[in-house]
Structure 1
Amino acid sequence: MYKVMLVDDDYPVLEFLSESIPWDKLGMTLIGQYENGAVALEAAQAQMPDIVVTDIGMPRMNGLELIRALKELKPGIRFAILSCHSEFHYAQQALKLNVQDYLLKDTLDPDDLLKLLEQFKASLDEEQGRFEQQNELRHMVNRNRERHKESFIRSTVHEPILSVESWLAEAESFGLQLKGRICLPVACYIDGQRSARQRFVTDDVLRFAVNNILEEIFRNEQNGTVNFTYDVLRSYILIPSQGGLKTNPYDEAVTFLSKLQSTVEATVKIKLSFIIGKTCGEPLELRRELAELLGSSGQRFYMRSRSVEKKEQPFFSKADLFESYDEAVSGFREALIGGNAAAVQPMVSHWMKYLRKERFRPDTVKDWVLKLVLDLKLKLQSMQLFRNSSSVEVLHRELLEMDTLEEIEDWMIHFFESSLAVVEGVKVLSKRTEVLDACQYVSLHLNRKISLDEVAEHLYMNPSYFSRLFKKETGETFIEYVNRMKVDRAKELLDQTNLSVAKIGEALGYDNHSYFIKMFKSVAGVTPLEYRGESASSRV
């Protein structure tokens, strides 16, 4: 929707135009009516219009002065002058300001303004199309360049360097100039990767967001530092230096990386951690150091969020972690079955401190945690207190993706607290496991269309009987429940991402954009864009 502003000290004219033009049909929103240019300019600085229809002769600031001021702020605004003055010198001044049209109030027909607004919309649509096309081309170029950089760093780590000169030349094509210089390699990690991935929806968007801000910072620093993506969660930052006894590359790097952490977190709300390697003078030496940094997963596992550490050889406990398993599972089982929510976080923290103190191997810790979670899940299922469709494979995959103990701790707290909430909900809401299974099925398939017949078939139930049972047990129809769950997910995406409403609708299985907006409004009381605006305002 294009934003339109009317400015005139003749209030009846403002009222007449605001009511005569079908703004919604034109794809426009009338954002304000103002009695003089000064008030309009102040309002525009809070909400910039796309189109301005203004009188010329007004107190405090006339129309021509308003146009000049707005053009400095946003050159692409479309302007139409609406005035009682027919003198040629006003028209001349308007033409010098590239005003699109000059309408006289004495002979004004709303249809004339309507036609002009339609022309404005057509030109704005065309301009927006060109901008989006150019933007997409820029993104394609950047993505291709990032893919080449990723391929370069991967081949450097995993394949022999056959020609040092060729390697140096290719590195230089990416902005890394190492001839006659030393290089300090740094492994860069995204902290809290599960929540980061959920917030940015796709890995490509997440990586693009991080790369964008890093590239901007490196350009401003102008020290020749280059970032090479290895995978979605890891990258290498290569910091060139002249070397010499007077400089300490490590100390300089710590200062630089700390600044990097603060800037990235403030800009895109992503936390980074770093492991700093040893300075390298030759490409072959750098290759070995990069490979060692890649193998630092053991050190990475016990790092806290926003850490900056030197690369070190980790030492792991040789004790048997599973000797303490019975004690752990008994404590958690008692808390879950007893509904003791207050005990969950302290209990998880207690065992995480134990694991951190002893420093067991990461794969052993993950096996221990997986067994603990699955055993407790099966116990609750056997008591018909819990139904969770997450398979062993899903839980195992989630654990494998987590690269720090700190993230595992957050994941465990969330898992157990969610389990407790479901247990309590089952006790209050329904003793019928079919209803709980249906709710779980919906939660796992929000990305596509879900029909009552499909879920009934999944539960081996008659659709009519299932429909009546669901309404009786929950107080709402199955379709109402599905719509409510989808709207809740849509609200999360509207709050946490910059995805368009159309893209969010597609992500939730709606191929009809209008139907998705209508459904959202029927559940939430506002359209998706209105919700996003209200949500953004409440956060300011």
Structure 2
Amino acid sequence: MYRVMLVDDDYPVIEYLQQAIPWQALNMEVIGGFSNGQKAYDYATNLPDILLTDIGMPVMNGLELINALTLRKKNLRSIILSCHDEFSFAMQAIKLNVVDYILKESLDPVSLIKLLEQMKHSLDEEKTLKKQEVSKELITSLEDNPLLDEAAWADQTDQIGLDFRTYVYIPVLCVINRQQVAEKRYSSKKLLSFSMQNVIEEVVAKEKEQGIFHLSYNGKETVLLFQYRDLVKTNVYESLEGTLRTINDAIKDYLKFSVTFIVGTNSENATSLKSNIKQLLKGKDHCFYRLEGSILKLDALDYQYSEEDLFIHHVEATEHFQQLIMKEDVENLKRKLAYWIALIRETRYKPQVVREWGLKILLDLRMKIKSLHYFETRFSEEVVHQNLFWVESLDHFQDMMWTQLADLLHVVQYINTSSKRREIIEAQRYVMEHLHEKISMSEVAQRLHLNASYFSRLFKKETNENFVDYVLRLKMERACEYLDHSDYSIEQISDRLGFDSKSYFIRTFRREIGMLPTAYRHKI
């Protein structure tokens, strides 16, 4: 309740105000009635929220009282009840930010009640904003100032209304899935946070039986505090999860994104709450392999990642994707991506390694398809890098990879439908799919039902590169990939690229790359 102080040297006025105004219905309580400003000031160890005072009183008048209390409480709301209508008094009242100046002769209880209702509404809004500001500082302090004094942190929790003597609190971290995408949709972090806050508060208002929620925002993280009086009698986690699902459904419906929740442990005091929230903030970095929209318990998060080298699969995965893109095989391209995602999920590689692996594959595919000399891709390396860098879950990684693979697929489809020389496209596709074999120009010309000499001139004209040089270049590029990202021996690489002998492969590699295969491998 808001505290109200009544001050007037005419005691019947105080009695009248106490009886005529429904203080309790207004969520207010009169903490005292005083005959002069000095008595009121001396009593005000627990400062009032609202002051109704006369002006002309002995010892300390009303204006002096307002000034003295405002120095101690800047947001004090004051109403003057006076017999004086002099302009000078009114001007002093304005300077002291008095809410209203009412002449006793025109005092109307109905009008005064409306004025008090307006003041209550103003105080409610101010209280809400203060809670949000302090709760924001709570989360920010854990990241920017982890050594914040425990007493200061406890004081902040008290300011937002946490009562550890009566309740136990369970913190829940809300992690926005695909936050970068959501921020682009809402233009700014501030607008995104504001929109999310409104949706959560609507759900919270309908879930009163769950208890009181205190929301904490810092523009990025959102923490919900679930308040419980008795954890034994209440099926806490079942009730909590039901509310979280309702919140997530509302966010999906209204804001068009989803949230993953991490549920912390019981907090019986400000110190344990601080520790639990810090653990939640660390836990968000370990949600990469969880399904988006999940409700996770902090103590169930898996912090272990595989030490295996994902890049040993780089060449194989790139070959799979390249072949299916060149064949324009959409369905099998999707299946192959799903296969690699399943392997990554099962093995649990480090998230950053997964991002780097995906980026390397996409950039290599871009260069390989660009080598057709017929096109320029629409995406830049910087854009692809930024998109994958912000990927926070494997589900998001899969969608991002598919978007980029589909873009390359569309490029190949465009080439195949717009090129006037399909023979060249067919020849290049055949080479890419048969690098593991010995490839002769006459064999390829025969497959295209062309004279070998004519095919040689046509290929040179269309690509500005001899066919034999083209085949050799692709084989050397593949050899470098094997040396970079596999444990294959030199002899195995030679066999996989269709060379007649290991020695011939080594000579060719040295001539084209400028060093021996072993030297190339060891330089990395």
Aligned equivalents of 1:230, 1:199: Cα separation in 2: 19
Aligned equivalents of 1:284, 1:372: Cα separation in 2: 47
- Relative to structure 1, the CA distance from residue 351 to residue 337 in structure 2 (aligned partners, 3 Å threshold; closer, same or farther) is same
Deviation, structure 1 residue 340: 2.1
Q: Does 1:325 align with 2:311?
A: no
Q: Quick one: which of 341, 347, 350 aligns to 1:358?
A: 347
Aligned equivalents of 1:217, 1:207: Cα separation in 2: 16
Q: Does 1:379 align with 2:368?
A: yes
User: Residue 227 of structure 2: SS of its match in structure 1?
Assistant: strand
Deviation, structure 1 residue 302: 0.7
Aligned equivalents of 1:139, 1:325: Cα separation in 2: 57
Aligned equivalents of 1:283, 1:140: Cα separation in 2: 24
Alignment partner, residue 299 of structure 1:
286
- Whether the 8 Å CA contact 1:184–1:277 is kept in 2: the answer is yes
Runs of 4+ in 1 over 6 A off after TM superposition: 138-145
- Relative to structure 1, the CA distance from residue 369 to residue 237 in structure 2 (aligned partners, 3 Å threshold; closer, same or farther) is same
Aligned equivalents of 2:230, 2:157: Cα separation in 1: 19
Alignment partner, residue 349 of structure 1:
338
Deviation, structure 1 residue 425: 2.6
Letter in 2 for 1:225: F
Deviation, structure 1 residue 319: 1.8
Letter in 1 for 2:314: Y
Alignment partner, residue 410 of structure 1:
399
Q: Does 1:229 align with 2:244?
A: no
- Whether the 8 Å CA contact 2:154–2:271 is kept in 1: the answer is no
Alignment partner, residue 213 of structure 1:
199
- Whether the 8 Å CA contact 2:170–2:263 is kept in 1: the answer is yes
Q: Quick one: which of 239, 242, 260 aligns to 2:226?
A: 239
User: Residue 301 of structure 1: SS of its match in structure 2?
Assistant: coil
Aligned equivalents of 1:397, 1:302: Cα separation in 2: 20
Aligned equivalents of 2:336, 2:127: Cα separation in 1: 50
Aligned equivalents of 1:179, 1:399: Cα separation in 2: 47
Letter in 1 for 2:335: P
Deviation, structure 1 residue 315: 2.0
Aligned equivalents of 2:126, 2:385: Cα separation in 1: 35
Aligned equivalents of 1:265, 1:177: Cα separation in 2: 32
Alignment partner, residue 516 of structure 1:
none
User: Residue 354 of structure 2: SS of its match in structure 1?
Assistant: helix
Q: Does 1:186 align with 2:184?
A: no
Q: Which has the larger radius of gyration?
A: 2
- Whether the 8 Å CA contact 1:261–1:306 is kept in 2: the answer is yes
Deviation, structure 1 residue 176: 4.3
Aligned equivalents of 1:259, 1:412: Cα separation in 2: 31
- Please give the root-mean-square deviation of Cα atoms over the aligned residues, in Å: 3.0
Aligned equivalents of 1:183, 1:241: Cα separation in 2: 6
- Whether the 8 Å CA contact 1:191–1:271 is kept in 2: the answer is yes
Deviation, structure 1 residue 165: 5.0
Structure 1 residues without counterparts, runs of 5 or longer? 1-137, 432-540
- Whether the 8 Å CA contact 1:184–1:238 is kept in 2: the answer is yes
Aligned equivalents of 1:208, 1:430: Cα separation in 2: 51
User: Residue 296 of structure 1: SS of its match in structure 2?
Assistant: helix
User: Residue 295 of structure 1: SS of its match in structure 2?
Assistant: helix
- Whether the 8 Å CA contact 1:225–1:238 is kept in 2: the answer is yes
Structure 2 residues without counterparts, runs of 5 or longer? 1-123, 421-524
Q: Trace 1:48-447 onto structure 2 (pairs within 5 A).
A: 149-160=135-146, 162-164=148-150, 166-222=152-208, 223-232=211-220, 234-311=221-298, 312-388=301-377, 390-429=379-418
Letter in 1 for 2:394: L
Bigger CA drift: 419-428 or 342-351? 419-428
Aligned equivalents of 1:225, 1:369: Cα separation in 2: 41
Identity of aligned residues (%): 24
